[in-house]
Amino acid sequence: MSETVYQQVQLQITNAQAGQNIWIDLQKVTEPVAWSTGPAFDGSGGINITVPGSSSALPLNSFIITASSVKVSTVSSGGGGGGALSFNVTLYLVAQPGIQNFSLRSLSDPGVTVQAQVGFAQPQAVNQTFSQFPWGK
């Protein structure tokens, strides 16, 4: 079994409206890479969804993660405007040692803003075309 390396990524979603879909695609650049729950250590890894500055629940219809995409679907408001939704999804990428970069793009509904923070780097915008991100240390 070959060794793998993990990198934490926080996806910051803002300006999503009720009933909208958020879809982030992952593409390898130099080495194979996939979304993951993280290293198998007690107290480490996993997937977290948080709503900063709010005690209310996030109205999710579905939350699907595959090796190459993260898809979030919010519940329609049913006529009552609830305002824009903002939330963070923290998860991991897994790859072989030696990976240097990967690419992300957002196929989210219009108006949704997505940023990705890789490790401790500054968040970068994720747009409709693939943007390259360094793996980090």
Tens place of pLDDT for every residue, the chain, 137 residues? 468 999 999 999 999 988 999 999 999 888 899 999 988 876 667 899 998 877 677 888 999 999 999 999 998 875 555 678 899 999 999 999 989 999 999 999 999 999 999 998 999 999 999 999 999 76
Q: Which class does domain 5-134 fall in?
A: mainly beta
Tell me which residue of 50, 60, 135 sits closest to 98, measured CA to CA.
Answer: 135
CA 71, chain centre distance (Å): 9
Domain boundaries, the chain: 5-134
Q: Which two tokens stand for residue 14?
A: 């803002």
